[in-house]
Amino acid sequence: MTTTNQVLADWVKEVAELTQPDQIYWCDGTAAEEQKFNDMLLADGTYKKLNEETHPNCFLHLSDPQDVARVEHLTFICTEKEADAGPNNHWMAPQDAHQKIDDLFAGCMQGRTMYVIPYCMGPIDSPISRCGVEITDSAYVVQNMRLMTRMGSDALARIEREGGFVKGLHSTGELDPDRRFIMHFPEELAIKSYGSGYGGNALLGKKCHALRIASYQAKTEGWLAEHMLILGIKTPAGKQHYVAAAFPSACGKTNLAMLIPPEGYVKDGWEISTVGDDICWMRPGEDGRLWAINPEAGFFGVAPGTAKATNPNALKMLYKDTIFTNVAETEDGQPWWEGLDDRTPKTDWQGRPFDPANGPAAHPNSRFTVSAKRCPSYSPESEAAAGVPIDAIIFGGRRASLVPLVAEAKSWDHGVLMGATVASETTAAATGAVGVVRRDPMAMKPFCGYNFGDYWAHWVAMQEKANHLPKVFTVNWFRKDDQGKFMWPGFGENMRVLEWIIGRCQGELSATETAIGHLPSKDDINTDNLDMDMNVLEDLLAVDAAGWKSEAESVEAFLSEYGNRVPKALFDQLKQLQSQLA
Model confidence pLDDT, tens digit, residues 304-345: 999 999 899 999 999 999 999 999 999 999 999 999 999 999
- Report yes or no on 175 lying in a domain: yes
Q: What is the pLDDT of residues 50-84, one digit of tens each?
A: 999 999 999 999 999 999 988 889 999 999 999 99
In this prediction, residue 430 has a pLDDT band, given cuts at 50, 70 and 90, of very low
Torsion of CA 341, 347, 348, 350, to 10 degrees: -160
| Number of folded domains that form the chain | 3
Task: Kindly state the percentage of the chain with pLDDT values over 90.
Answer: 95
- Report yes or no on 118 lying in a domain: yes
Residues 6 or more apart whose Cβ sits within 8 Å of residue 373: none
Q: Which residues are designated catalytic?
A: 251
Q: Indicate if 460 and 498 belong to the same structural domain.
A: yes
Give which of 214, 271, 220, 264 is closest to 241, Cα–Cα: 271
Contact, 290 vs 224, CB < 8 A?
yes
- Report yes or no on 437 lying in a domain: yes
pLDDT of residue 50: 98
Decide which of 198, 222, 246 is a domain's last residue: 222
Q: Average pLDDT, whole number, for the chain?
A: 96
Contact, 15 vs 169, CB < 8 A?
yes
| Phi, psi (rounded to 5 degrees) for 105 | -70, -25
- Residue 565, SS3 per DSSP: helix
Q: Indicate if 210 and 268 belong to the same structural domain.
A: no
CB contact burial 211-249 (16+ within 10 A = b; e otherwise): bbbbbbbbbeeebbbbbbbbbbbbbeeeeebbbbbbbbe
Q: Indicate if 438 and 513 belong to the same structural domain.
A: yes
CATH number for 452: 3.90.228.20
Which residues does residue 118 pair with via DSSP β-bridges, in sequence order?
133
Handedness of CA 69, 73, 79, 84 (dihedral sign): positive
Cα separation of 254 and 309, whole Å?
14
pLDDT of residue 431: 42
Q: Indicate if 433 and 481 belong to the same structural domain.
A: yes
pLDDT of residue 364: 93
Cα separation of 19 and 22, whole Å?
10
Cα separation of 258 and 265, whole Å?
15
Cα separation of 115 and 117, whole Å?
6
Query: Cα–chain-centroid distance for residue 107?
Result: 33
Q: What is the pLDDT of residues 353-398, one digit of tens each?
A: 999 999 999 999 999 999 999 999 999 999 999 999 999 999 999 9
Q: Indicate if 156 and 264 belong to the same structural domain.
A: no
Give which of 148, 155, 126 is closest to 281, Cα–Cα: 126
pLDDT of residue 427: 56
Report the pLDDT averaged over residues 127-140.
Answer: 98
Query: Cα–chain-centroid distance for residue 20?
Result: 34
- Report yes or no on 555 lying in a domain: no
**The residue type at 265:** Y
Q: Indicate if 79 and 168 belong to the same structural domain.
A: yes
pLDDT of residue 434: 64
Handedness of CA 478, 484, 485, 488 (dihedral sign): negative
Contact, 362 vs 303, CB < 8 A?
yes
In this prediction, residue 251 has a pLDDT band, given cuts at 50, 70 and 90, of confident
Integer Rg of the chain from CA: 24
pLDDT of residue 2: 85
Q: Indicate if 107 and 163 belong to the same structural domain.
A: yes
Cα separation of 186 and 455, whole Å?
14
CATH number for 126: 3.40.449.10
CATH number for 370: 2.170.8.10
In this prediction, residue 429 has a pLDDT band, given cuts at 50, 70 and 90, of very low
**Residue-level length of the chain:** 582
The pTM assigned to this predicted structure is: 0.97
Decide which of 335, 351, 374 is a domain's last residue: 374
Q: Indicate if 281 and 305 belong to the same structural domain.
A: no
Cα separation of 37 and 43, whole Å?
10
Residues 6 or more apart whose Cβ sits within 8 Å of residue 481: 487, 536
Contact, 254 vs 277, CB < 8 A?
yes
Q: Indicate if 277 and 422 belong to the same structural domain.
A: yes
Cα separation of 491 and 332, whole Å?
32
Q: What is the pLDDT of residues 177-192, one digit of tens each?
A: 999 999 999 999 999 9
Bigger pLDDT: 436 vs 121 = 121
Q: What is the pLDDT of residues 556-572, one digit of tens each?
A: 999 999 999 999 999 99
- Report yes or no on 60 lying in a domain: no
- Report yes or no on 513 lying in a domain: yes
Q: Indicate if 475 and 349 belong to the same structural domain.
A: no
Cα separation of 109 and 225, whole Å?
33
- Report yes or no on 88 lying in a domain: yes
Q: Is pLDDT of 274 > 90?
A: yes
Q: Is pLDDT of 432 > 70?
A: no
Which residues does residue 75 pair with via DSSP β-bridges, in sequence order?
182
**The residue type at 165:** F
Burial class (CB in 10 A: 0-12, 13-18, 19+), 29: buried
Q: What is the pLDDT of residues 75-104, one digit of tens each?
A: 999 999 999 999 999 999 999 999 999 999
| Phi, psi (rounded to 5 degrees) for 411 | -160, 175
Q: Is pLDDT of 436 > 90?
A: no
Strands, E, within 489-546: which ranges?
512-514, 517-519
Q: Indicate if 358 and 499 belong to the same structural domain.
A: no
Contact, 200 vs 175, CB < 8 A?
no
Cα separation of 348 and 341, whole Å?
15
Q: Indicate if 399 and 538 belong to the same structural domain.
A: yes
- Report yes or no on 63 lying in a domain: no
Domain span including residue 319: 298-374
**The residue type at 73:** H
Q: Is pLDDT of 425 > 90?
A: no
Report the pLDDT averaged over residues 197-202.
Answer: 94
Decide which of 374, 403, 433 is a domain's last residue: 374
